[in-house]
Amino acid sequence: MNGTSAVEVSRFALRRRALSRSFRGGLKGGEYTWALAFVVPYVAVFLAFVAYPVVYGLWMGSDASLYRELFADPIYQSSVVNTALYLALGVNVKMFLALLLSGFFMRPGWWMKVLLLIFVLPWAVPQISTFISIHWMLNGEWGFLNNVLYKLFHVEGPHWLNDRWTALGAVIVSHIWKWTPFWTLILLAGRMAIPLEIRDTARVDGATGLRGFVHITFPLLANLYLICTLLSTIFLLGDFNAVTFVSGGGPANQTHVLATLGIRDAFEIANPRLGVAAVMSALPMVIPLVIILMRKLRTAEVQV
């Protein structure tokens, strides 16, 4: 072995060590082992309960003929329209209300805290029982709402769940009622995190009321608002409770969304692969949302 090759060997060893250190994230010896001990269970759980179901789902919905069958189903098209409406109205109305209400709950006073406590109740109570209650309240013959209308005004109320649009409206309103408190709390936390000095300085400069909101509060909340909206959209795409328990997908299967259509195809039609295909058909919408969300989370600094 000559001198040059000895240098090369030691360079190679150094490079290997650097690579290894980089692979270990700068951790040494026992630290690395402990890190591994903490990571392995997570990886195992991730593989078993996230990766496997996703891959299995993709495999189940991978046959092109399933999509031909799905698109031939007359209910599929109306389900896509319903899903779009559910997302557009459900998410945006809810988030806008949450934005306004978060400002309202910033007001000082002990009664505001009591009001906030009452306000969050719809979110705190179990959703299935509340959606079933709403279903019963809206029953055309003996439901609470129509009975009140009749008792007070001698008016026969409409059969709320017998018409596609009123039934879908009931589903959307139920969702908004249920989840607005949650997102209000998130945005309220965001508002509370805006440093007092910024608000005071703005106030001195004359940015109060609407101007303060437009020029100070909203720009600082914008990122949080966008991330909440994206998250809510992703959650809502997979939600089937409101539809299942408020309208039942009826009348005549006219208020199904993709999530409930998937359940129907899987278990009522007894074709699980078709059910998976119904849900998979939402992927072209979900994947861009997830990518945007990830980019937002990675690149944007928390502004609040």
Residues forming contacts to other proteins in the complex (CB under 8 A) are 30, 32-34, 36-37, 40-41, 44, 69, 72-74, 139-142, 159, 161-162, 167, 247-253, 266-270, 272
d(CA 218, CA 221): 5
In whole angstroms, the minimum distance from the beta carbon of 182 to other proteins comes to 28
In whole angstroms, the minimum distance from the beta carbon of 11 to other proteins comes to 26
Would you say 34 or 104 has its CB closer to other proteins? 34
Would you say 96 or 136 has its CB closer to other proteins? 136
Would you say 72 or 196 has its CB closer to other proteins? 72
In whole angstroms, the minimum distance from the beta carbon of 240 to other proteins comes to 13
Phi–psi pair at 52, nearest 5 degrees: -60, -50
Q: What is the DSSP string of 26-82?
A: T--HHHHHHHHHHHHHHHHHHIIIIIHHHHHHHHHT--HHHHHHHHHSHHHHHHHHH
Would you say 38 or 110 has its CB closer to other proteins? 38
In whole angstroms, the minimum distance from the beta carbon of 37 to other proteins comes to 5
- Tokens 């690395």 belong to 32
Would you say 188 or 261 has its CB closer to other proteins? 261
d(CA 279, CA 277): 5
Q: What is the DSSP string of 256-271?
A: --HHHHHHIIIIIS--
In whole angstroms, the minimum distance from the beta carbon of 128 to other proteins comes to 13
Are the CB atoms for 61 and 280 separated by under 8 Å? yes
Would you say 136 or 218 has its CB closer to other proteins? 136
d(CA 191, CA 100): 11
Would you say 3 or 30 has its CB closer to other proteins? 30
Alpha-carbon dihedral sign for residues 288, 291, 297, 303: negative
In whole angstroms, the minimum distance from the beta carbon of 266 to other proteins comes to 7
Helix (H, G, I), strand (E, B) or coil at 162: helix
Q: Which one, of 129, 92, 86, lies nearest residue 258 by Cα?
A: 86
In whole angstroms, the minimum distance from the beta carbon of 264 to other proteins comes to 9
Are the CB atoms for 257 and 79 separated by under 8 Å? yes
Q: Which one, of 230, 252, 257, lies nearest residue 242 by Cα?
A: 257
